[in-house]
Structure 1
Amino acid sequence: MNQAITTHDDSRIELDRLSELTEDVLRRCRARGASEVDVGVGVDVGLSVSVRLGEIESIEHNRDRGLSLTVYFGKRKGSASTADLNPDSIEKTIEHACAIARHTEEDPCNGLADPDLLAHDFADLDLWHPWDISIEEATELALRCEEAGRGFDPRISNSEGASVQVGSSLAVGATSNGFFSRERDTRHMISVALLAEDEAGMQRDYWYESVRSAADFPDVASIGHRAAERTLARLGARKLGTRQCPVLFAPQVARGLIGHFISAVSGGALYRKASFLVDHVGKPVFPDFMQIAERPHIRRGQSSANFDSEGVATRDSDLVVDGRLARYVLGSYSARKLGLRSTGNAGGVHNLIVATGTDDFSAMLKRMGTGLVVTELMGQGVSLLTGDYSRGASGFWVEDGEIVHAVEEITIASNLREMFANIVAIGSDVDTRSHILTGSILLDRLTIAGA
């Protein structure tokens, strides 16, 4: 058996078909009396191969097609979607969306994005890199990744498996007020999760790489080695007594801290008055060395896009300047609720970059001296309304700038307002696998609740 993903061979033909379908749905909705229409049609194709303990565990192909539709009858809105693109399903989707719109209450903030904000120029962001890999080749990569991790150290006692995932997406979007787009993008991932054991017990950890182009993957063995190193480092984990101390968020959890900030300055939380950062534009949130910028047009970026989910053109924009909030994160509806205009963030932010210092992770440990490194967070104990923060955590205890032992079963607690204000430094060890690009974040002091 030698089957490959070949979506890219006919991707433009497929986009032509999707474009015709999109335009047809627009016409049919207008014929039913809709004053405004927003249509999106997409096709996602993928291959996923998983192995465990040297054996194939699963092979999955997917080809998912879908249509999403929003119609407006004046200021009344109706939405419907279907995962079936046959004519009957599309007709029912149109009927459902129009019926919903006719029977909902009017909302003066409803409607398509402002026409003058829509994207019409589409730069090549280098997001289309189909990976013609056969099942046999994907299996071999997954096996090599797992083997590299399992063979790294005798204490690696088991595996939860390794996987190779190949994905491509085609999407056409259009609105009745002049927006039309045809987009292609790819995303591929290799991951592995391992278990290690010693006299103190068993620990688990993992690693993965996610790229737009398979050419950007590191050597697959290095992914297995990284997972093994992380798993072994957790052996001998201990609890800590309750205390206050500096805390260093490793890059993969530091981006979550920035994510809480994004949520707090996003439209929905703001117009509902459900954020502790209401009315904070122009006010200090972070120390004055902090700079956060959105850069949507990075080539091969994890979240690069020419437009947001409403078709509003994206652009380079500062979010935090010298520690002060420069703007909110808004789509059209939330912007109207606040008396503002969309910032091109319907659906989220695009490549948010936190300016870093010059210290790598080792230097950040030295800078902290004695304290806690957090590498994993559990639970949902974050209130955007009050900023209260309390989450389960694990990581490492550090003394004199050196890791002493792993830590587990603790809780870290504070308030986001204080946490943001008490950031001491941003490391240069940026994790590039996310749409939020930040290095490790050192906080002056948090409360740790342990044994």
Structure 2
Amino acid sequence: MTSASRLPAAEHAQLDQLQNLVADCLREASHQGATDAEAGVSMETGLSVTARLGEVETVEHHRSRGLGLTVYIGQRKGSASTSDLSPAAMRETVAAAVRIARHAAEDPCAGLPDPDWLATEFPDLDLYYPWPIEPEAAIELAVACENAARRHHPEIVNSEGASLNTFQGLRVMGNSLGFLHGYASSRHSLSVAVIGERGGEMQRDDWWTVARDARDLQAAAEVGRVAAERTLRRLGARRLGTRQCPVVFAADVASSLLGHFVGAIRGGNLYRKSSFLLDRLGQPVFPDFVQLREAPHLPKALGSAAYDTEGVRTTPHHLVRDGVLESYVLSTYSARKLGMRSTGNAGGVHNLILEPGELDLSGLLRRMGTGLLVTELMGQGVNLVTGDYSRGAAGFWVEDGVVQYPVEEFTVAGNLKDMFGTVVAVGNDVDLRGNTRTGSILIERMTIAGN
């Protein structure tokens, strides 16, 4: 979250206008009969460029804005939104939300957060680095990225294209409890996917880089090189017979395992009793060396925020300490349903960090000995009610700690409760490109369904 005092004059003036709009919206909601209200408004701009085989495929400028409003009449709730920020449209949106609330059923858990949960301090999280790149320069970067991949090796024979995307925006939210705050943020990325061929067999892979500040992106040539190397190493893939063995999830796919964990401790799934981790608070869910924490105030990080989408302050805390589940992931509503208090997670988690161990990926493979390295997951075969896990995958077969050959067209299966409980080690090869930061994860044993 970037301090308003550091914004350029034009963005500062826009932020003031948006704050005034939210304040006017809240006053209008009260005038029309709402007992409480919360509103949020955003203005976003960006550029997207895609090039394929050296030619421009798309150049798109993005510009969007929107106002969202939730009103309460007692404990009846109504919501409405609009992309028209004019005063007349704002009043009509308020009227629509109030009409909905008047016809809604009473919900004893509905309402704004408790006032003492709201954020009152707003550190500068260094999130705003607009990138005023011209379309011509963006095209050059995308083409250079793709060329680096295509020219890396003769077996790279085709491309799915390279894309460059920029985003910068302003957001303001407020509620009738007196909370009103806005901030600016940015996010930029560059990606490429290419196809390799050997002996009539084709494989594809990709690579990408993302950052708040364009200066923190990997170089275009480096992104292309990595994508090409990832594609080449998949050529000659074999199929596996069905077996049970240890599995290493590479860092860039291991984050999905933590996503399933967060889903299982999310308040909505808990109060609906649709989670395999129901009633596990205070109990071991991982081995005792596992530490999983939320760090919402990291400067420049992609998940940083001083407050959640309800204005509730975020705080650094452990979800799992020494393997024991210490915290759920709760919004105001789900917290009230469970008789608890919000954890500041309306809208999701903020910079989820699995503390790394001492081994890099090569060290994890040596510790595993013989087993499977998973580098790609496909499909959605995850049941959070039972914990059953079954997904299509691709990767590499490992013997004596050394990669032997690529493998494909198999399913990796188990139960998430067992998988989390039998984590053997976490690597120090942490992937920093998203809201979840984790190294590769070694699991003691899973079922591989192949030929």
| TM-score past 0.5 threshold | yes
Indicate yes or no: 2:263 matched with 1:263: yes
Question: Partners in 1 of 2:434 and 2:219 — Cα distance?
Answer: 20
1:290 match:
290
Q: Which amino acid aligns with 1:276?
A: F
2:439 match:
439
Question: Partners in 2 of 1:358 and 1:200 — Cα distance?
Answer: 41
2:194 match:
194
Q: Helix, strand or coil for the counterpart of 2:92?
A: helix
Comparing 246-255 with 86-95, greater Cα deviation is found at: 86-95
* 1:364/1:427 contact within 8 Å kept: yes
Q: Normalising by the residue count of structure 1, what TM-score does the alignment of the two structures yield? A: 0.97
Q: Helix, strand or coil for the counterpart of 1:431?
A: coil
Q: How does 1:381-400 map to 2 (within 5 A)?
A: 381-400=381-400
Comparing 195-204 with 302-311, greater Cα deviation is found at: 195-204
2:12 match:
12
Question: Partners in 2 of 1:214 and 1:208 — Cα distance?
Answer: 13
Indicate yes or no: 2:315 matched with 1:329: no
The superposition leaves residues 401-430 of structure 1 with CA deviations (integer Å, 9 ceiling, x where unpaired) of: 111111111011110010000100000000
Distance apart, 1:114 and its partner CA:
0.9
Distance apart, 1:217 and its partner CA:
1.3
Indicate yes or no: 2:411 matched with 1:411: yes
Q: Helix, strand or coil for the counterpart of 1:346?
A: coil
Q: Which amino acid aligns with 1:229?
A: E
2:23 match:
23
Question: Partners in 2 of 1:14 and 1:63 — Cα distance?
Answer: 14
Indicate yes or no: 2:366 matched with 1:366: yes
Question: Partners in 1 of 2:220 and 2:263 — Cα distance?
Answer: 35
2:118 match:
118
Q: How does 1:46-195 map to 2 (within 5 A)?
A: 46-195=46-195
Q: Helix, strand or coil for the counterpart of 2:309?
A: coil
* 1:335/1:342 contact within 8 Å kept: yes
Quick one: percent identity of the two aligned structures? 56
2:3 match:
none
Q: How does 1:297-336 map to 2 (within 5 A)?
A: 297-336=297-336
In the comparison of the two structures, how many residue pairs are matched? 445
Question: Partners in 2 of 1:251 and 1:362 — Cα distance?
Answer: 12
Question: Partners in 2 of 1:129 and 1:222 — Cα distance?
Answer: 22
Q: How does 1:211-230 map to 2 (within 5 A)?
A: 211-230=211-230
Distance apart, 1:84 and its partner CA:
2.4
Q: Helix, strand or coil for the counterpart of 1:262?
A: helix
Q: Helix, strand or coil for the counterpart of 2:298?
A: coil
Cα 1:200–1:443 shift into 2, 3 Å: farther
Distance apart, 1:378 and its partner CA:
1.1
Backbone CA RMSD of aligned residues: 1.1
The superposition leaves residues 133-158 of structure 1 with CA deviations (integer Å, 9 ceiling, x where unpaired) of: 11111111111101100000000001
Comparing 379-388 with 439-448, greater Cα deviation is found at: 379-388
Question: Partners in 1 of 2:170 and 2:8 — Cα distance?
Answer: 10
* 2:262/2:329 contact within 8 Å kept: yes
1:34 match:
34
Distance apart, 1:86 and its partner CA:
3.0
2:375 match:
375
Distance apart, 1:37 and its partner CA:
0.5
Question: Partners in 2 of 1:36 and 1:441 — Cα distance?
Answer: 46
Q: Helix, strand or coil for the counterpart of 1:94?
A: helix
* 1:269/1:275 contact within 8 Å kept: yes
Distance apart, 1:8 and its partner CA:
5.8
Q: Which amino acid aligns with 2:407?
A: V
Question: Partners in 2 of 1:426 and 1:141 — Cα distance?
Answer: 35
* 1:200/1:236 contact within 8 Å kept: no
Question: Partners in 2 of 1:196 and 1:37 — Cα distance?
Answer: 55
Q: Helix, strand or coil for the counterpart of 2:168?
A: strand
Question: Partners in 2 of 1:244 and 1:273 — Cα distance?
Answer: 31
Question: Partners in 1 of 2:94 and 2:213 — Cα distance?
Answer: 37
Q: Which amino acid aligns with 1:417?
A: K
2:4 match:
none
Distance apart, 1:113 and its partner CA:
0.8
Question: Partners in 2 of 1:315 and 1:64 — Cα distance?
Answer: 31
Q: Which amino acid aligns with 1:297?
A: H
Question: Partners in 2 of 1:39 and 1:329 — Cα distance?
Answer: 23
1:4 match:
none
In the alignment, structure 1 segments of 5+ residues that lack a partner are 1-6
Question: Partners in 2 of 1:159 and 1:383 — Cα distance?
Answer: 35
Question: Partners in 2 of 1:269 and 1:221 — Cα distance?
Answer: 44
Question: Partners in 1 of 2:444 and 2:122 — Cα distance?
Answer: 43
Indicate yes or no: 2:248 matched with 1:254: no
Comparing 239-248 with 393-402, greater Cα deviation is found at: 393-402
In the alignment, structure 2 segments of 5+ residues that lack a partner are 1-6
The superposition leaves residues 52-101 of structure 1 with CA deviations (integer Å, 9 ceiling, x where unpaired) of: 11111110001100011100000000011112223443233212111110
* 1:200/1:235 contact within 8 Å kept: no
Distance apart, 1:215 and its partner CA:
1.1
